[in-house]
Amino acid sequence: MRKGVVQLSESILVTFFIIIIILMGIVVFYRFHLNSLHNYEQEYINQQLLSLLITLPNDFMHTNLGDSENAVDTSKLFYDNLDYGFKKIIIEQVYPKQDVVECKLQSYPNCNYFAVYNKENSKLKNKLVESRPVSLYSPLSKEYRAGKLTIYYYY
């Protein structure tokens, strides 16, 4: 009788340890999978932001007699019907350097800072910032200037 009780106790103890090892494996797998999903999410956000950086100047492209120039037309930056989600898009003139004057319809073309789009959400705490150089064309003065396109992506 004692031998049977000892064997039963050993079997229960071995089963208990096997269950603990399986549960630890599930927890490790879950953490690994969660981390992998987080990395995929970050990659997707980065790709989406870079795609927007590449294609956004096309929305405001300067055209001359139907031919598109490689410059952003500053007169087209006052559109109100844009929807890019929770982002902040700024185009700033960097050369020739001047004091920062935000562009509104009243101050155009004597300005150098365009807040093209600004939609923030107070619940989103993280932001990703990317920028790239752009060429700015002012149709009133018919001159090109160097600028910087900056996108703040909130997530």
pLDDT along the chain (155 residues), means of 10: 84 95 96 94 86 77 74 84 84 87 84 88 85 90 90 87
Cα separation, 149 vs 12, in Å, equals: 66
What's the confidence (pLDDT) of residue 1? 67
